[in-house]
Structures are given as C-alpha cells and as structure tokens.
Amino acid sequence: MKIIYLFGAGASCNCLPIINQIPDRIIKLIKFLNKSTFIFSKDEKFDNISDKSKTEIKEMLISDLEWLANESSKHASIDTFAKKLFLKNKHNELLKLRLELSVFFIIEQLRYKPDDRYDFFYASILNKRITSFPNNINIVSWNYDYQFEISFMDYSEVYTLSESNARLNVISKNIDDNADPNSFAIYKLNGTTALCSVDGFKQYPFINIYKSQMDKSTLEDIIKRYAEGLYLKDRVYSGVSFAWEGERGLSIAGKALGAMSKGEVLVVIGYSFPFFNREIDRILIKSMDKLKKVYIQDPHAEIVAERFKATKGDLEEIPIICIHDTEQFLLPDEL
C-alpha cells in the first residue's frame, strides 16, 4: 500500500522554531553571533566575491537578521511577510528574506541537535541496510530544513549534506532532478536552505561537512556563502523558494504529484494547512484519487482535520484518524 507523509514545521519543532517563534529565535541568534568568539579580521576578504572585509560581511548579515526579526514580528508569520513582498512585487526584499532565512535555519541546526523523532523514524522504516528504504513510502515536505539529511548521517556514516541528500533521493524546488514516483523520495515544496546555480543543476550547501557545533571556522564558511548569495546573483540564488512563487519553471508540485497520485494512505505530521498554501495543497490532495485513509498527527488534530477537508471535496467516505500523541512520528498500521 502506497503511503504518503506530508510534513510541516511542527515535525522539526524539537530543534527548530515553529512560525510564531522565529522572530524571538532570530534575536537570540544575533546575540550569539555578537560573541567575542566570532570576531573576524577587518582586513581579510573572500577572494573573487566582494571588496568588503569578512567583518563587514558579518555586520551586514547581522543587520539583515535584525531586519528580518523586526519585519516578521509585524506579521502573522514569516510566510505571510514573504507573500506580502511577493504580491507587492518587492523582488529584492523577497530575495533578501530567503537568503536570511537560509542562514538562520542553517545556524540553528548547528546550535541545536536534530529532532530525535527523525532518528526513530529511520530506525523503524529501514530494513536490512541503510539504503533499503521502502518504495511504498514517499515524503512531501513544506520544510526547507535539513533535519532529514542530518539525522540520516548517523545511519549512513556520510558526513556531507550533499551525499546525504543524494542517498535520501531529495527532490527540491528549483533543482532539475528526475523523480521516480515508484521509489522512496523526499520532495521539498519550499526548496532547501542552500544556494542553487542559476541553471538549476547544482546545489551548494552553506556548510557541506556537518558539525554538531557552531565554531568560528564554520561561521566563516556560512558567511562566505551568504556573501556569494549577495554579490554573485548572476551565478547563484537562495534555494529557499516558497511553492506559491512558481519561479524558474521547475515545478516541484508537478514532481510531487507523481508520487501523491499513487497514495492510498496519507499521514500528515506537524502541518496545519495554512490558507496561503491552499492552492498548492488542493492540487496535491485532489490528485489522490486512490486515497483510502488519512492520519493527522497534531496536538490540535481535529482543527487540522477541518482545514484538510477544505482541500478536497469528496472526503465523506474516507476515514480521518486524529492522533494527539506527538512523541514519535506516526507509523500507520498499513506499513
């Protein structure tokens, strides 16, 4: 039986902030970055990127983070702020938001250990080998974090995000990868926290060799990628890109449809079906004409269930099971 997992921000909440917590966490991150541990040279520069020093680039990063915290606190969520910029055609500010959001999530995933529910999930679905992913599972995620990739490193004994990404068959918006709906894959609807080449064929993580700590050399690598995102816009751009933007012609929703249309069981984890994602959600959920059962795992599962029903009109005969226990990711009986 084909099982589709639909992940939202709540699936990473033991490591990363949910939407309304982001402004406060950015303020805490700024204080962290201002520590004496992270003082850079006022003379050294990143070659072939900018004439500004490493210190100046770091100061620009902090200034932009302050902007992001201040502006996002004025809106219901950072996604709402992003949609507002999009609708007002403030392209440069939207690009800045996406780049800052990438830096924020990368650093937070170094400062805090991964959500341990991913560890349990892998231990449960993997069979005899670390590469033996069940072909009847596909994951569609609204998250742009690296929780899947980082958690998998403990199993695969690979230490670069690029290799972990490849082994998990991660299909991300704006990267021109082929998707096989009959194989295990993770579809990232909002892109990922990396830089992407403008031709859509390469992805450049802010850090490739993952460390379970945040030190000066790691921050220097992140600041360098940040500088590339600022000054090399003819070559790279932020891999975070909201699904409703629909840019660059690489339709991640179209790729995810191939898997979701085969789904017979849907497991929704930590996703609340917000209104501004409704157009994409409707396209995805309506494609599931083989759907037989829905599980919704959330402390407020009944509320989520009502929002879910708004995405598909023929749900009367399909049972919706509400699960309030969020200690581990749900493993449905059909697995």
The confidence score (pLDDT) of residue 158 equals 83
CATH number of the domain located at residue range(s) 3-13+114-194+246-323 in this protein:
3.40.50
DSSP H or E run through 298: none
The confidence score (pLDDT) of residue 162 equals 87
Instruction: Report d(CA 171, CA 258) in Å as an integer.
Output: 12
Long-range contacts of 118-122 (CB under 8 A, 24+ apart): 118/147, 118/148, 118/151, 118/152, 118/329, 119/151, 119/154, 120/328, 120/329, 121/328, 121/329, 121/331, 122/151, 122/152, 122/155
Q: Which two tokens stand for residue 138?
A: 């596909």
The confidence score (pLDDT) of residue 249 equals 44
Task: Give the distance from CA 66 to its chain's centroid.
Answer: 22
DSSP H or E run through 166: helix 161-167
The confidence score (pLDDT) of residue 250 equals 53
- 235 touches 203 (CB < 8 A): no
Run means of pLDDT, 10 residues per run, the chain, 335 residues: 96 92 95 93 90 95 96 88 92 94 94 94 87 90 94 86 89 70 88 85 83 86 95 89 67 83 96 89 92 96 93 81 97 92
Q: What are the domain boundaries of the chain?
A: 3-13+114-194+246-323, 19-112+196-241
232 contact partners, CB below 8 Å, separation of at least 6: 49
